Structure 1
Amino acid sequence: MTATSTSILALLAAYLIGSIPFAVIVSLALGISDPRSYGSGNPGATNVLRSGNKFAALLTLVGDAGKGWLVVWGAKALVAHGIFALSPRLLAGMAIAAFLGHVFSVFLRFKGGKGVATAAGVLFGIHWLVGLGTLAVWIAVAAMSRYSSAAALTAAVAAPALAHFVLGDPLWVGTTIVLAAVLIWRHAENIRRLLNGTESKLGKKKEAISR
């Protein structure tokens, strides 16, 4: 197998793992409404929480974060054990591919979630301190504002700075910048609602969305 084919397969595998729509799978398994049919319509843990089923939201959160972590940690483990020779750039590409898989899930016709939990998982895979620091920012802002979107946006801005402080590696700092940029872009509507004062707060019950 050539280096090019190995890289393509690695990126494809990372993307497909990232594409697994845990919000929809968990909701279907537990017999609750498809998260794309209420609230923000986003197939993610925060919107699943609006169903009132905290267990479903927790499973979704663990699944979405876990897939991002698994891709990065697993790839690094394969390199460490000499199973595959993956370059640092390919590892960074796999991290981004897993995140983009969630945002543009092939299983949901490329209409995935906003990527907060998956990005967190990727950051933990890059370095646990980067992940933990970003999570702490999210928790602090969410606790003070009760807005999940505001917490996500603040954490996204903080992530590259944390990566620089912890790792000092331009490659991984650049990776976190890409994640942050896409995440902020995906929250464009949330930013408008925050500015207008119409954004939903954490814990608000579901409302059907218009199709």
Structure 2
Amino acid sequence: MNPSQPEDLSKDSQYSGRVQVLEPETGRSTLRITNLRESDSSEYHFKFKTRRFEWRSVLPGTTLTVTALQVQVTRIISVHQSQTEAELKCLSSCSPAGRLYVWFKNQQRIRTQQTSTLTDNFSPGDTVSCAFSGHEDYRSPSVYPPKLPSVSVSPSGEIVEGSSGTLTCSSDANPAANYTWYKENQTLSQGSDGVLAFISISFNNSGNYYCKSEN
């Protein structure tokens, strides 16, 4: 972090339990980092010490780039009653040239697809992820449409006129869902938090409320 005051990685909380210095032979030292994270991308340096002398190179260090994969929906081609045709892209922070990709639909490998783009038909319950070929165990987080939303009321029980209260809509989705609240067929609010708040509830607020989640 500070070139003039280098810090021992083994004492850095971000690397706690993940770094090990191996010295299999005299004159050679190896730094091993396990459970790599994208935040580990950096330039790494070393120094060595004897009882009378300390030396640290002023040359550029060793650059480590750790990539994280992410699936992004780039285009909705058509929407049918039970299926959506869409184009998906597998994105990485370093996008290495010439890499082959592996796509997974509902945890099953799509063997015909090896490029960073996938066009396919998707049902409401499908999950999709991607990986680099040869690194199938390190997949991107899965993307999937919202599950059936649930609604909670606070405070629960009897609502007294003049009091405050909230309706909260939530749904498991990746990417995160946006929510729309309706009273009967009237749109009330839209947003990412799914909360419909009442400052001072009146009798006119009585009715049937619904929420919709989409991503």
Do both share a fold (TM > 0.5)?
no
| TM-score range normalised by the length of the shorter chain | under 0.3
Structure with the bigger percentage of strand: 2
Higher gyration radius (CA): 2
TM-score (normalised: structure 2): 0.25
Relative contact order (alpha carbons < 8 A, sep ≥ 6): 1 or 2 greater?
A: 1
Structure with the bigger percentage of helix: 1
